[in-house]
Amino acid sequence: MTVTNKRIIFKEYPKGLPIPGQTTTFDASQTIDLDNVPLNGGILVKLLVLSLEPYIMARMQPFMPNMYQIGDMIECFGIGVVLRSEKPAFQVGDHLHGSYPFQEYSVLRQTESFTKIHNEYNLPWSAFVGIAGLPGKTAYFGWKEHSRAKKGEVAFVTSGAGAVGSFVIQLAKRDGMKVIASAGSDDKVEFLKELGADVAFNYKTTKTSEILTKEGPINVYWDNVGGETLEAALNAAAKHARFIECGMISAYDGSSKPIPNLISIIIKEISINGFIVSTLSPKYLETFEREVPALVASKELMYREDVTRGLENVEVAFGNLMKGALTGKGVVIMADK
Amino acid sequence: MTVTNKRIIFKEYPKGLPIPGQTTTFDASQTIDLDNVPLNGGILVKLLVLSLEPYIMARMQPFMPNMYQIGDMIECFGIGVVLRSEKPAFQVGDHLHGSYPFQEYSVLRQTESFTKIHNEYNLPWSAFVGIAGLPGKTAYFGWKEHSRAKKGEVAFVTSGAGAVGSFVIQLAKRDGMKVIASAGSDDKVEFLKELGADVAFNYKTTKTSEILTKEGPINVYWDNVGGETLEAALNAAAKHARFIECGMISAYDGSSKPIPNLISIIIKEISINGFIVSTLSPKYLETFEREVPALVASKELMYREDVTRGLENVEVAFGNLMKGALTGKGVVIMADK
């Protein structure tokens, strides 16, 4: 059976926010013969779920080590189902998590980074690009490794309604901390409260620095944004505060403003730690897989998704993500099975 | 006996580098009766040695927590000898290290932060504001706590000819590292080589980024300067590099430029640690006092001083320090005994 194989191509480096059709382009010109396309020892996978992540924006910058090449497909994490396989490790019907090109069907030969999802608790597949997947691991590994959380201390979590931040809020609460969390809309602020945040605010209508002055000082800062928010967090940091650098969404468009108070790092003896999930994986993966899906299944851990359907709508959805207009983890459902 | 009691007053917040007579002023209008000035339970101390430190510049900024007040005396670390005492803990003739107002004679009632120097190895008193004193502790404590030095790795040390940096170079060499060190004059570069630096360069005539590209990547960055050098270090950092934030001399004048590549903290999983000597003191002081003065006495540890004589010359000497024009630890000898 020959079908259209829609895809998303990287067209040019964005100046500022990505523009659908200009930064990227939707292309429906390709077809694929699902029964006969040669696998050459690889697998044919149908994409079910794509994850929308700020990381995509980062990889659109020419200074990134693994930047996208102009003319290539955008690529990010997703979940696909195996339609055909010439690899003994993968069977037809297996659901695989990995970094997929943004197209409906892919023949993959390099599959080292693809892992089979067992899904013992029968969670929706999309959970595995969210709380039970990489964003969940990001939150969990980073928090366990760098927070040195103490009961009664104060944590400040940015992008609190996102896939990572919403889990971090819950981890901080489980560790007995007071949690200040920010997000970019009143609707999201409601969600922060549902997650258990003690102080939740809309950073677009309330000044972060004012909230932190009132509710801080902060002992742990979960940084998803960098820039002025990082500056405010440095000002509001307690002695020996731990800053966990998870993302700097404010820097992904290539702009940067001075952070005049970096010297607080010294004065307050702050520890700032960047981390990458894969490095921490050997240390925390087993505990994560034992604990997290079970807690999701039993609803002890909450998550929220902003669902887009179909590859045609990916570009607009990604733009909305970067504008902060998604509520919950951004996922694209390409097909239900 | 009544004598003049010369002093240095803080006059106005500096814009840029400090200007003698404008930022600060030398004042010889005061006298003191050494025999009869009331101690009210305190001690009368004659200042012998004053330490010139970039920290003085930091405390001239209105955003610092312990900034100087306009009209007050400048204050920094020094060594004095007790002339009279009404405190049982201190005897006439004791040599005390502490934070002194910049004047020849002081009556001190709050002496909690003053410590008696034992000087078992008969080092020059000025060594106790240098390698055997606070700068030495800064280098030693910070290095031991945060470097996680590994033999064969690469360290980059800024302000390598200064009191802290020159000790850090020697600590890194003792740990078997390759050391890249920078300073601001060719004369200082010669000193860096004497200290054992494998790569020594004048950052005013050679681009730091070029040296680091050629000689890096770097595993440990000893940051005394911040700003563009911090940016270059982020670019040249190896995976899991440790940045030890000791000073940000480039920020002490209140200026700040963007550091566009802070995102490297995440990509390279960098750990950035600010520290303050007093916090680490309980952990390392005993080892420091056992090891360092002995190594200085046996010349296994080297140090260099830039000596100014007399309080009249402090302002110009401090200006030279901030311009990077001192070679070695800046000390002011007020009197020999």
Which residues of chain A have a Cβ shorter than 8 Å from any chain B Cβ? Answer: 58, 63-65, 226, 230, 240, 245-248, 251-252, 254, 256-276, 279
B311 Cα to chain A: minimum distance (Å): 29
B193 Cα to chain A: minimum distance (Å): 28
Rounded distance, CA A277 to CA A13, Å?
26
Helix (H) or strand (E) holding B136: helix B134-146
Rounded distance, CA A5 to CA A1, Å?
12
B91 Cα to chain A: minimum distance (Å): 34
Q: Which of A58, A240, A274 sits opposite B268 (nearest CB)?
A: A274
Is there a contact between B274 and A270 if contact means CB atoms under 8 Å apart?
Answer: yes
Q: Contact A19/A32 with Cβ under 8 angstroms?
A: no
Q: Contact B56/B99 with Cβ under 8 angstroms?
A: no
pLDDT at position B10: 96
Q: Which of B322, B164, B252, B75 is nearest to A263 (CA)?
A: B252
Is there a contact between B269 and A274 if contact means CB atoms under 8 Å apart?
Answer: yes
Q: Which of A247, A257, A268 sits opposite B274 (nearest CB)?
A: A268
Q: Taking the CA of residue A165 as centre, how many other CA atoms within 13 Å lie in the half-sphere pointing to its CB? A: 35
Q: Which of A230, A258, A274 sits opposite B256 (nearest CB)?
A: A258
pLDDT at position A323: 87
Please list every residue in chain B whose beta carbon sits closer than 8 Å to the beta carbon of residue A248: 262-263, 266
Please report the domains of chain A, with CATH numbers, ordered by start residue: 2-129+304-333 (3.90.180.10), 134-277 (3.40.50.720)
Is there a contact between B274 and A261 if contact means CB atoms under 8 Å apart?
Answer: no
Is there a contact between A246 and B259 if contact means CB atoms under 8 Å apart?
Answer: no
Is there a contact between A266 and B247 if contact means CB atoms under 8 Å apart?
Answer: yes
Please list every residue in chain B whose beta carbon sits closer than 8 Å to the beta carbon of residue A270: 273-274
**Banded model confidence at residue A74, pLDDT cuts 50, 70, 90:** very high
Q: Which of B58, B230, B265 sits opposite A274 (nearest CB)?
A: B265
B219 Cα to chain A: minimum distance (Å): 15
Q: Show pLDDT as tens, one digit a residue, over chain B (337 residues).
A: 999 999 999 999 998 899 999 999 999 999 999 999 999 999 999 999 999 988 898 899 887 777 899 999 999 999 999 999 999 999 999 999 999 999 999 999 999 889 999 999 999 999 999 999 989 999 999 999 999 999 999 999 999 998 899 999 999 999 999 999 999 999 999 999 999 999 999 999 999 999 999 999 999 999 998 888 999 999 999 999 999 999 776 665 555 677 878 889 998 999 999 998 989 999 999 999 999 999 999 999 999 999 999 999 999 999 999 888 888 899 999 998 8
Please list every residue in chain B whose beta carbon sits closer than 8 Å to the beta carbon of residue A268: 274
Could you report the per-residue pLDDT of A101-131, keeping only the tens digit for each? Answer: 999 999 999 998 899 999 999 999 999 999 9
Could you report the per-residue pLDDT of A240-278, keeping only the tens digit for each? Answer: 999 999 977 666 555 567 787 888 999 899 999 999 898
Please list every residue in chain B whose beta carbon sits closer than 8 Å to the beta carbon of residue A261: 63
Is there a contact between A258 and B258 if contact means CB atoms under 8 Å apart?
Answer: yes
A298 Cα to chain B: minimum distance (Å): 33
Reply yes or no on whether the pLDDT at A29 is more than 70: yes
Q: Contact A178/A200 with Cβ under 8 angstroms?
A: no
**Collapsing DSSP states into helix, strand and coil, what is residue A23?**
coil
Please list every residue in chain A whose beta carbon sits closer than 8 Å to the beta carbon of residue B279: 240, 269
CB count, 10 Å around CB of B219?
22
pLDDT at position A327: 81
Please list every residue in chain B whose beta carbon sits closer than 8 Å to the beta carbon of residue A267: 64-65, 274, 276
Helix (H) or strand (E) holding A215: helix A208-215
When the pLDDT of each residue in chain A is averaged and rounded to a whole number, the result is 93
DSSP, residue by residue, A69-98? PTTSBPEEEEEEEEEEE-STT--TT-EEEE
Is there a contact between B256 and A262 if contact means CB atoms under 8 Å apart?
Answer: yes
Could you report the per-residue pLDDT of A287-320, keeping only the tens digit for each? Answer: 999 999 999 999 999 999 999 999 999 999 999 9
Q: Taking the CA of residue A206 as centre, how many other CA atoms within 13 Å lie in the half-sphere pointing to its CB? A: 17
Reply yes or no on whether the pLDDT at A43 is more than 60: yes
